[in-house]
């Protein structure tokens, strides 16, 4: 089981992030929990790509044939980090607007459409 | 054709960036002109690509990175007619939306054009990409601009609610897809769909494959708004500006279904083949539940755009059942259905925008009788309602006929009744609203309980309210004509079925066999019956006051036992929505784990 | 409603946990992954593209199309945020209220940091194909400079060094540049985003990699301008009240 511990950590982070979103009472807190959920995907991807004893995939000081960790997951993560940052910016802007209109940041304040 | 392949993606993106670079230096007219020109160019290129790939799909590798042996290095674009038709639909809808917004839509520094062009580029990529991560990033791109477009009317708190619920739900959905992608990459070391499929084809599926399938499907179905992942759509599509809603309901909810079909065909069709019946029943179950839920709630709405949003949910449910039949005829039928629905629903949302412009509101009860001076508008919406119900001649009719025929052949004779029910109820809801607004029929207050929170909407256009500007007439008329005309194309069902067979043959198994379809004319009598029942249902609801106590008692009991509890579930609170998402994914996962191994 | 929601979530999360744990147990043990895709890329970054950063080769060359979309996600989101936080008719733009200034020690520290940050940011952007880094990382570093200025000197100076039109135009230009460089491949008769420029010296240097360093510069411009604009837009919002 210790060989798959990192994956278990990713699952743990995912579920607690989702719990945070479901029970959140403040929109900015909710956005932070969304970031936590996204972190679980980073942990998963990087754990998958890891290679014991491998160097970083930069071949400046080491010969090109050295065993290195997987660069593909790192490229995926790079894209994901940018996507996360920008979606969070949008959500925070929306939350700010809600705060301006309703003087509160609670999700209960934005239940104008129901049923 | 190699050189044209990436252009439908690159041209809109480049144009968006250039418009934004010049920003204030660019007068509105020129930005309009550039955007329309780019859309027209994309439409032309898509048509050329469809013609070029009609008999043989075309694969191109971006960056010139061809595979080394069995390992794909670069990102591929897999051009074939079904996907290209969806991309074409997107371009048509964006074009219509821009025509609609010409000169009268309140936009700041041409940001509206920039966001719409980026959306077009994203969807053009999504429909043809052969790489799983690229698919996810395209969805994220479309989503990011969609969230901003949804919350455009920041003065309206309901718009903020819609945008936030939309953004959080869809981001969670995207993360589910990413989890599935990670699992698949960990197993196969590949991101290219065909390569993943070949890698996992040789062994029976274990828990990892099944859960990966669940995560990827559920993530996509969140974006497609299948129940129980559908809550966000009713909030979002009701508050976005009308031209934007047309694009959302027109293509943004059906593109994930295309992606799901492609992923299943390329990756999962071979490992899951022994259990295809079980998977079919799962999808039929979820799809039917979505259709019924959407239809019932559609009927209970007063906010016209929210009514249309619930009807979208219902039709998505029907399309999921079409996908779930796993046959070329059904897939072809679903494609026709999606194209027809996209055009008609797009037209309906644009017409709702005209209604908002002329009458200043979209609340059905408050607008009672106020539309008497706009007979053409009412007629157009009524036509759309009958098309939604499955009336003859629309794309919806042609697609449904193919799906229903396949269902009966496969032993699911109850499915056509679900199609009929959904069509009748959603069509009747729109027709009832038309009758109330444009003819002043129906009781002043709805006998059924109120609820649904905010039912009005702030205006989004400027300019005189006394006349409808020509672009706002031309755009929905064009879409309506195309949507109605789609069903008139001869031999459409067979054409779609052949293409679908080739589409399904993307994976290692090869194309499945096709068979002859019944002529479409045979389905017309039933279609006319549906139209009659739709008019009857709308009439009954409008004539509530004239019913006897027995009739009214029945209506009240239906409302209390059926409609009211369903409405209570739609709380508007994002925490509830995400809880339903988690529960839904878990249920789907356990059903798959139990039945697919 | 809260109790029902928690109950529903609890059931779902518990079941999902079991499903996910079953799934991840099928993954190879951590550290044993031998993905052929990654190994191929590691092997060819140096010989075929004359760069030493394999991740950079992946991001800007092999999977450059993903990066194009990602650039536009950033660009679209920044545009979208600016749209969402636009001043409505009731408000004026540019409140410009001065916050309590910080003292001389803070300002000196920030001054020193600014110089170091800008230099380091440019270094990271331009050396992306040689060392860990690249357009995105460098752009984020550069965008942190206006934030430092705000912390030391208040919003007025921030508004002066991040003029709204110029910076949003620069970000858009960066995105356009990225998409445009890809067209060079088409012009040369190849595929979109193909690396058709001369690859430079075989021993990786600052000019080697063909289109890779150019794409890196374009993305650095776009990311830096984009994040700087975000910072300005959010802080403007805060000081408007």
- State pLDDT tens for residues B411-425: 899 999 999 999 999
The tokens describing B55, both together, are 């008999």
Q: Are B400 and B291 in contact (CB under 8 A)?
A: no
Across the range A106-114, mean pLDDT stands at 83
Q: Which residues contact C111 (CB under 8 A, 6 or more apart)?
A: C152
Cα angle B287-B290-B295, degrees, rounded to a multiple of 5: 125
Interface partners of chain C (CB pairs < 8 Å, 3 or more) are A, B
Helices B255-263 and B81-100 meet at what angle, rounded to 10?
A: 170
Q: Does A55 contact C at CB distance below 8 Å?
A: no
Distance (Å, rounded) from C-alpha B345 to C-alpha B580?
Answer: 27
DSSP structure class, residue B192:
B
pLDDT at C207 over 80: yes
Q: Are residues B485 and B392 in contact, defined by beta-carbon separation less than 8 angstroms? A: no
Report the C-alpha gap between B232 and B229 in whole angstroms. Answer: 8
> Under a CB-based contact definition with an 8 Å cutoff, are residues B212 and B173 in contact?
no
Query: Closest Cα partner for B161 from B151, B170, B171?
Result: B151
Helix (H/G/I), strand (E/B), else coil: B347: helix
Q: What's chain B's length in residues?
A: 597
| More confident of the two residues B341 and B557 | B341
Stated length of chain A: 115
Is residue A102 very low, low, confident or very high in pLDDT (cuts 50, 70, 90)?
confident
Find the mean pLDDT for residues B467-485: 88
Q: Using the beta-carbon criterion (under 8 Å), do B568 and A111 form an inter-chain contact?
A: no
Query: Which residues in chain B are closer than 8 Å to A113, comparing Cβ atoms?
Result: 158, 161-162, 234-235, 238-239, 303, 306, 452-454, 572
Residues 6+ apart with CB under 8 A from B267: B184, B193, B196, B197, B200, B507
| Position with higher pLDDT, B518 vs C124 | C124
Q: Is the pLDDT of residue C203 over 60?
A: yes
Phi–psi pair at C239, nearest 5 degrees: -90, 0
**Cβ-defined contact of C132 to A58 (cutoff 8 Å):** yes
B279-292 residue pLDDT tens: 999 999 999 999 99
Do you find a cis peptide bond into C190, omega within 30 degrees of 0?
A: no
**What was the pLDDT predicted at C1?**
58
Query: In whole angstroms, what is the distance from residue B165 CA to residue A50 CA?
Result: 35
B444: exposed, middle or buried (Cβ count in 10 Å: 0-12, 13-18, 19+): exposed
Instruction: Tell me which residue of B116, B118, B158 sits closest to B141, measured CA to CA.
Output: B118
- Tell me, yes or no, if B466 comes closer than 8 A to chain C by beta carbon: no
Say if residue B423 is exposed, middle or buried (CB neighbours under 10 Å; 0-12, 13-18, 19+): buried
**Low-confidence winner among B221-230, B318-327, B501-510 (lowest mean pLDDT):** B501-510
Cβ distance of A86 and C20 shorter than 8 Å: no
Q: Give residue A45's pLDDT.
A: 95
Q: How far is the C-alpha of C155 from the C-alpha of C126, rounded, in Å?
A: 30
pLDDT at C96: 47
Q: Are B330 and B265 in contact, with CB atoms under 8 Å apart?
A: no
Give the integer Cα–Cα distance in Å for B521 and C179: 49
ipTM score assigned to the predicted complex? 0.96
Q: Is B576 on the interface with C (CB under 8 A)?
A: yes
Chain mean pLDDT for chain C: 88
Element (H, E) at B102: none
B449, pLDDT greater than 60: no
Q: What is the pLDDT of residue B463?
A: 65
What whole-number distance in Å separates Cα of residue B541 and Cα of residue B113? 41
Which residue has 């059903």 as its token pair?
A: B591
Element (H, E) at B76: strand B76-79
pTM for this predicted structure: 0.94
How many residues would you count in chain C?
A: 241
Q: How confident is the model at residue A64 (pLDDT cuts 50, 70, 90)?
A: confident
Measure the CA–CA gap between B360 and B445, rounded to whole angstroms. 19
Tell me the pLDDT tens digit for each residue of B173-219.
999 999 999 999 999 999 999 999 999 998 889 999 999 999 999 99
Residues 6+ apart with CB under 8 A from C129: C51, C52, C53, C56, C57, C60, C204, C208, C209, C212, C213, C216
A33 contacts in chain B (CB < 8 Å): none
Question: What are the structure tokens assigned to B291, written together?
Answer: 């259709």
Q: With an 8 Å Cβ cutoff, is A86 touching chain B? A: yes
Q: What is the pLDDT of residues C112-125, one digit of tens each?
A: 888 899 999 999 99
Q: Which helix (H) or strand (E) holds A97?
A: helix A71-102
The whole-chain average pLDDT of chain A stands at 91
Name the most confidently modeled range: A61-70, B457-466, C90-99.
A61-70
- Give the pLDDT confidence score for residue B453 in this predicted structure: 65
Of all residues in chain B, the percent with pLDDT exceeding 90 is 59
| HSE, side-chain direction, 13 A CA sphere, residue B441 | 16
Which A positions 44-83 lie with beta carbon below 8 A of chain B?
44-45, 48, 72-73, 76, 79-80, 83
Other CB atoms closer than 10 Å to residue C66's CB: what's the count?
26
Q: Other C-beta atoms within 10 Å of B561: how many?
A: 9
Confidence class of residue B21 from pLDDT cuts 50, 70 and 90? very high
H helices, E strands: number in chain B: 23, 2
d(CA C225, CA C142): 9
- The secondary element (H helix, E strand) that includes residue C120 is helix C104-126
* Across C50-57, average pLDDT: 90
- Residue C225: count of CB within 10 angstroms of its CB: 27
**Lowest-pLDDT range of B132-136, B408-412, C64-68, C88-92:** C88-92
- B58 forms beta bridges with B79
Cis ω before B228 (30° cut-off from 0): yes
Contacts of C37 in chain B (CB under 8 A): 71-73, 189-191
- pLDDT given at position A1: 67
Report in angstroms the alpha-carbon separations of B237 from B163, B193, B311, B363, B543.
9, 32, 11, 15, 29
Quote the CA–CA distance of B262 and B83 in Å, as a whole number: 9
Interchain contact A88–C (C-beta under 8 A): no
β-sheet bridge partners, residue B78: B59
């Amino acid at each position: 089981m210790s060989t798959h511990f990192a994956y278990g950590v990713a699952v743990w982070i995912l579920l607690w992030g989702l719990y945070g979103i479901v029970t959140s009472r403040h929109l900015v807190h909710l956005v932070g929990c969304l970031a936590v959920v996204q972190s679980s995907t980073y942990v998963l991807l990087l754990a998958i790509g890891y290679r014991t004893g491998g160097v970083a995939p930069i071949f400046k000081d080491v010969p090109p044939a050295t065993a290195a960790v997987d660069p593909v997951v790192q490229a995926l993560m790079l894209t994901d980090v940018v996507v996360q940052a920008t979606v969070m910016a949008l959500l925070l802007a929306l939350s700010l607007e809600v705060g301006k209109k309703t003087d509160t940041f609670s999700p209960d304040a934005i239940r104008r459409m129901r049923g | 054709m190699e050189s044209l392949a990436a252009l439908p993606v690159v041209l809109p993106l480049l144009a968006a960036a250039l418009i934004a670079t010049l920003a204030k230096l660019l007068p509105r007219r020129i930005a309009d002109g550039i955007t329309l020109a780019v859309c027209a160019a994309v439409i032309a290129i898509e048509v050329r690509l469809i013609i070029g790939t009609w008999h043989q799909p075309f694969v191109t590798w971006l960056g010139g990175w061809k595979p080394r042996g069995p390992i794909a290095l670069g990102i591929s674009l897999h051009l074939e007619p079904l996907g290209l038709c969806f991309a074409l639909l997107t371009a048509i809808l964006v074009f219509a939306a821009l025509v609609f917004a010409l000169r009268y839509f309140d936009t700041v520094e041409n940001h509206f054009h920039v966001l719409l062009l980026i959306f077009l580029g994203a969807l053009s990529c999504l429909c043809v990409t052969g790489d799983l991560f690229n698919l996810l990033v395209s969805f994220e791109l479309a989503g990011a601009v969609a969230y901003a477009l949804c919350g455009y009317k920041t003065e309206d708190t309901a718009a903020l609610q819609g945008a936030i619920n939309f953004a959080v739900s869809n981001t969670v959905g995207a993360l589910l897809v990413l989890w599935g992608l990670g699992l698949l990459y960990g197993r196969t070391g590949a991101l290219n769909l065909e390569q993943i499929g070949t890698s996992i084809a040789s062994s029976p599926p274990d828990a990892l494959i099944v859960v990966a399938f669940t995560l990827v499907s559920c993530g996509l179905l969140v974006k497609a708004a299948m129940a129980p992942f559908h809550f966000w759509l009713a909030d979002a599509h009701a508050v976005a500006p009308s031209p934007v809603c047309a694009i959302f309901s027109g293509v943004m909810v059906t593109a994930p279904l295309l992606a799901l079909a492609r992923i299943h065909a390329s990756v999962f069709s071979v490992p899951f083949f022994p259990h295809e019946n079980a998977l079919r029943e799962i999808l039929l179950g979820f799809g039917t539940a979505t259709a019924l839920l959407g239809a019932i709630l559609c009927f209970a709405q007063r906010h016209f755009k929210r009514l249309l949003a619930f009807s979208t949910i219902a039709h998505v449910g029907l399309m999921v059942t079409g996908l779930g039949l796993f046959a070329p005829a059904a897939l072809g039928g679903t494609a026709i259905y999606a194209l027809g629905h996209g055009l008609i629903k797009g037209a309906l949302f644009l017409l709702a925008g005209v209604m908002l412009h002329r009458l200043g509101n979209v609340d059905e009860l408050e607008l009672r009788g106020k539309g008497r001076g706009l007979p053409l508008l009412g007629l157009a919406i009524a036509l759309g309602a009958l098309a939604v119900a499955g009336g003859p001649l629309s794309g919806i009719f042609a697609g449904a006929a193919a799906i229903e025929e396949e269902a009966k052949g496969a032993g699911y004779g109850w499915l056509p009744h679900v199609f009929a029910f959904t069509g009748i109820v959603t069509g009747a809801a729109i027709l009832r609203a038309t009758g109330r607004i444009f003819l002043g029929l129906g009781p002043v207050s709805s006998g059924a309980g109120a609820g649904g929170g905010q039912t009005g909407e702030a205006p989004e256009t400027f300019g005189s309210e006394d006349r409808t500007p020509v672009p706002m007439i031309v755009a929905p008329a064009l879409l309506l004509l195309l949507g109605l005309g789609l069903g008139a194309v001869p031999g459409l069902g067979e054409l779609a079925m052949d293409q679908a067979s080739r589409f399904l043959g993307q994976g290692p198994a090869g194309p499945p066999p096709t068979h002859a379809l019944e002529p479409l004319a045979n389905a017309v009598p039933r279609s006319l019956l549906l139209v009659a029942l739709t008019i009857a249902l709308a009439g009954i609801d409008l004539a509530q006051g004239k019913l006897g106590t027995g009739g009214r008692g029945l209506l009240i009991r239906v409302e209390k036992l059926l409609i009211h509890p369903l409405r209570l579930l739609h709380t508007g609170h994002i925490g509830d929505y995400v809880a339903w998402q988690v529960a839904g994914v878990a249920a789907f996962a356990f059903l798959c784990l139990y039945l697919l191994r | 409603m809260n109790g029902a929601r928690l109950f529903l979530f609890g059931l779902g999360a518990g079941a999902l946990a079991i499903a996910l744990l079953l799934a991840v147990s099928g993954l190879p043990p951590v550290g044993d992954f031998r993905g052929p895709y990654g190994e191929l890329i590691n092997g060819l970054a140096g010989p075929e593209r004359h760069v030493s950063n394999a991740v950079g080769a992946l991001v800007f060359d092999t999977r450059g199309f993903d990066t194009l979309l990602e650039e536009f996600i950033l660009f679209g989101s920044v545009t979208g945020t600016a749209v969402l936080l636009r001043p409505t008719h009731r408000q004026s733009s540019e409140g410009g209220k001065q916050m309590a200034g910080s003292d001389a020690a803070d300002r000196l520290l920030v001054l020193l940091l600014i110089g170091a940050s800008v230099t380091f940011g440019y270094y990271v952007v331009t050396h992306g194909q040689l060392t860990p880094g690249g357009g995105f990382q460098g752009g984020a570093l550069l965008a942190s400079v206006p934030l430092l200025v705000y912390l030391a000197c208040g919003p007025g100076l921030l508004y002066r060094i991040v003029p709204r039109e110029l910076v949003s135009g620069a970000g858009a230009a960066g995105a356009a540049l990225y998409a445009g460089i890809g067209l060079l491949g088409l012009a040369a008769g190849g595929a979109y985003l193909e690396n058709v420029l001369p690859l430079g010296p075989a021993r990786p240097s600052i000019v080697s990699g063909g289109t890779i360093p150019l794409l890196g510069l374009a993305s650095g411009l776009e990311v830096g301008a984009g994040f700087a604009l975000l910072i300005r837009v959010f802080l403007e919002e805060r000081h408007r009240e």
